[in-house]
Structure 1
Amino acid sequence: MTDHAISPGAAPEDTLPGKPVSASRTTLSHIMTAAETNLLGTVHGGVIMKLVDDVAGAVAGRHSGGPAVTASMDEMVFMEPVRVGDLVHVRAQVNWTGRTSMEIGVRVLAERWNESTPPTRVGSAYLVFAAVDADGKPRPVPPVLMETEKDRRRNQEAQIRRQHRLARRRAIKELREKRIAEGLNDDL
Structure 2
Amino acid sequence: MKSDEKQYKKVSDSQISITELMLPSHSNFSGKIHGGHILNLMDQIAFACASKHSGNYCVTASVNKVDFLNPIEVGELVTLKASINYTGTTSMVVGLRVISENIRTGKTKHCNSSYFTMVAKDEEGKSAPVPGLILTTKSEIRRFARSIVRQKDGRNRTSRFNSKIFKIEDYINLFDNSNSIIEMKDKS
Q: TM-score, normalised by structure 2?
A: 0.82
Corresponding residue for 2:43?
53
Q: Which residue of 2 aligns with 1:69?
A: 59
Contact 1:15 1:142 in 2 (8 A): no
Equivalences for residues 78-117 of structure 1 within 5 A: 78-117=68-107
1:163 has 2:152 as partner: yes
Change (3 A) 1:171 1:33: same
- Aligned match of 1:44 in 28, 34, 37? 34
> What are structure 2's unaligned runs of at least 5 residues?
167-185
- Residues 71-106 of structure 1 show CA distances to partners (whole Å, capped at 9, x for unaligned) of 000011111000100100000100001001010000
**Structure 2 residue corresponding to 1:175, chosen from 157, 163, 179:** 163
Match of 2:126 in 1: 137
Cα shift at 1:28? 1.3
CA distance in 1, matches of 2:37, 2:124: 30
How far apart are 1:165 and its partner, in Å? 2.2
CA deviations over 1:20-68 (Å, ceiling 9, x no partner): 0000000011100000111111001111111111111101001101111
**Following the alignment from structure 2 to structure 1, what is the Cα–Cα distance between the partners of residues 92 and 106?**
35
Among 112, 125, 150, which residue is 2:114 paired with?
125
| Number of equivalences | 168
What's the CA shift for 1:113? Answer: 2.7
TM-score by length of 1: 0.82
| Gapped regions of structure 1 (runs ≥ 5) | 1-12
Q: Which has the larger radius of gyration?
A: 2
